[in-house]
Amino acid sequence: MIPGSFSYHRPSSVQEAVGLLAKLGDDGRALAGGHSLIPMMKLRLASPANLVDLAGIADLKGIRSDGNDIVIGAMTTQHDLIGSDLLGAKIPLLRETSLQIADPQVRYVGTLGGNVANGDPGNDMPAVMLCLGASYHVTGKGGERRIAAREFYQGAYFTALEAGDVLTAVRVPVPPAGHGSAYEKLKRKIGDYATAAAAVVLTMSGGKVASCSIGLTNVAETPLWAEEAAKILTGSTLDAATVKKAVAAAEAITAPASDARGPAHYRTKMAGVMLTRALARAKAKARG
């Protein structure tokens, strides 16, 4: 399988990349780790006339604290996320999720920016970003702006990005100390997308849920933020009856496709099972 011909560009700054992409319009695509785009190009499902490789832009790499947020450069790989002591201490959910993405070789090259910007409902990080209340730094023709992850995803492969935009960083607010989190993913085998997956971040106080946020992966055209389910759980002890109600609320917002991973109603039920497991694990890790 050989991709179609293209011209290769390797800008060394964000400004240069944005300028190139703006000029090229529909004929240009940004290349991050390439582990979604290159397979599509090999299948000729994508045939961009120009690739703008972001790998030469030093500003797009790295993980740093900024006040109560952690800012992660878009070209930071899943492997880098796994190895980060800062993230391990402050937002362990990101390490846990990264370890469930694809396989070691893919994680060495696949980037956080590519994972969240591609708009593929099968990618794991978008639902985790909805769960964490992250925002994306985007630079385009009009300068830099921030877009909340919860407002970013519009449909399968459709996002708030416009032609010429480059997603440069992901800003994640650090959850409160003592929070518990979990990402539960059902997949057929290593390297597969989720049949269904659920991300949970919660805090407990006096044995009751003080705050809760839930994201769901690959059970709709976009990642889902299960706001109603989280509301039902808040104030509860995560007793079985309340969890059951919340799971029903989460299942109600899913609209998965029937595909090789199973029929739609099965995938909806699996989203509920993943959520139940993630809640139990997050609670066990939370203090208070």
Residues 185-214, interacting with another protein (CB under 8 A):
190-191
Q: Which of 22, 59, 69, 79 binds another protein (CB under 8 A)?
A: 79
Cβ at position 96, least distance to another protein in Å: 14
**Site stretch for another protein (CB under 8 A), options 15-23, 49-57, 228-236, 269-277:** 49-57
260 is a contact residue toward another protein (CB under 8 A) = no
Cβ at position 178, least distance to another protein in Å: 29
45 is a contact residue toward another protein (CB under 8 A) = no
95 is a contact residue toward another protein (CB under 8 A) = no
Cβ at position 55, least distance to another protein in Å: 7
Angstrom distance (rounded) from CA 288 to CA 99: 27
**Size of the residue set binding another protein (CB under 8 A):** 29
Between residues 190 and 255, which has the closer beta carbon with respect to another protein?
A: 190
Angstrom distance (rounded) from CA 36 to CA 46: 10
SS3 of 131-182: HHCCEEEEEECCEEEEEEHHHCEEECCEECCCCCCEEEEEEEECCCCCCEEE
The DSSP letter of residue 201 is E
58 is a contact residue toward another protein (CB under 8 A) = no
The conformational region for residue 159 under phi > 0 = left, psi -120 to 50 = alpha, else beta, is beta
Angstrom distance (rounded) from CA 257 to CA 278: 23
Contact 135, 102 (CB under 8 A): no
Strands 69-73 and 63-66: antiparallel
266 is a contact residue toward another protein (CB under 8 A) = no
108 is a contact residue toward another protein (CB under 8 A) = yes
At residue 250, what is the residue type? Answer: A
Residues near another protein, by CB under 8 A: 1-8, 10, 31, 34-35, 38-39, 41-42, 51, 53, 55, 79, 102-106, 108-109, 190-191
